[in-house]
């Protein structure tokens, strides 16, 4: 089965662009999937909506920094999405990523891994605040070093919002906005300083913002020390860490998880 636009079969051709992009290395790839495959995935997602799939399975988030967000838990996913996930964790694709990044010990996860959700959806008024993801593979404990996000909703308009946001190394200021465009993929280097989020979704009626999201890991505890980065290139262990709108928000009982994860993040950053 042909998965990719052949343009992206040699990611090493984009290495300079990837490393040059700020606030951290990333690469935007339009028309990522081969067209016929993207059409099949779109059809599958439309069928999921008709079956109320998003209301019956997975996990739903509705907090001050994770609004109207749903994740799959990787259970009962459609056939073509499962095939894509297997491809994105295949040796062939991971070799391609290694040539892009020169991180030579990359690996994916067991497919289909129920500890990491690879299919996400977000509905009206949804958004995702500034955050940096979990730093380790929950099974092996190895560093989390790369992400890929693929935008799946075919009839998405710019006026709906839902764009991917990249922040500065403190997670306090938006530096780059990547428009949500159907069949667009974004690869980015995941470090303790790779803060990102999703802008608020508006005017979208019943259309959901659907994405595939895959993590990649390194067997080395010094995965990107060969790179010149605009911040420290030292890896350290931390949980998913969100930036709340106000410092006072951390002391609200409902935000105790966010306070705890922030304390652990800064303890690891400064004392380990």
- CATH topology for 6-230 is Jelly Rolls (2.60.120)
Domain boundaries, the chain: 6-230
Query: For residue 106, what are the β-bridge partners?
Result: 218
CA separation for the pair 164, 242 (Å, rounded): 15
Q: Three-state DSSP class for 257?
A: helix
Burial (0-12, 13-18, 19+ Cβ within 10 Å), 133: middle
Query: What pLDDT, on the 0 to 100 scale, is given for residue 1?
Result: 45
* pLDDT tens profile 3-47: 889 999 999 999 999 999 999 999 999 999 999 999 999 998 888
pLDDT, average across residues 152-165: 95
* pLDDT tens profile 247-272: 899 999 989 999 999 999 999 998 86
pLDDT, average across residues 223-228: 95
């Amino acid at each position: 089965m042909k998965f990719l636009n052949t343009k992206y079969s040699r990611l090493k051709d984009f290495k300079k662009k990837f490393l040059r992009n700020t606030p951290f290395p990333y690469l935007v790839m339009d028309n990522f999937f081969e067209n016929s495959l993207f059409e099949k995935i779109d059809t599958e997602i439309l069928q999921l909506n008709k079956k109320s799939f998003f209301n019956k399975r997975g996990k739903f988030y509705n907090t001050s920094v994770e609004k109207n967000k749903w994740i799959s838990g990787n259970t009962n996913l459609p056939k073509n999405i499962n095939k894509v996930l297997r491809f994105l964790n295949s040796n062939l694709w991971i070799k391609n990523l290694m040539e892009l990044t020169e991180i030579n010990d990359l690996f994916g996860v067991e497919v289909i891994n129920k500890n990491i959700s690879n299919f996400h959806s977000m509905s009206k008024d949804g958004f995702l605040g500034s955050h940096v993801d979990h730093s380790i593979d929950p099974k092996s404990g190895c560093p989390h070093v790369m992400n890929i996000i693929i935008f799946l909703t075919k009839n998405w308009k710019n006026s709906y919002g839902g764009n991917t946001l990249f922040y500065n190394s403190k997670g306090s200021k938006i530096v780059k906005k990547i428009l949500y465009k159907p069949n667009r993929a974004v690869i980015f280097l995941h470090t303790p300083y790779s803060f990102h989020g999703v802008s608020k979704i508006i005017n979208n009626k019943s259309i959901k913002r659907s994405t595939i999201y895959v993590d990649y890991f390194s067997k080395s505890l010094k995965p990107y020390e060969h790179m010149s980065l605009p911040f420290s290139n030292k890896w350290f262990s931390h949980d998913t860490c969100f930036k709340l709108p106000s410092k006072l928000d951390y002391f609200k009982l409902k935000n105790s998880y966010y306070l705890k994860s922030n304390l652990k993040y800064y303890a690891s950053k400064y004392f380990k």
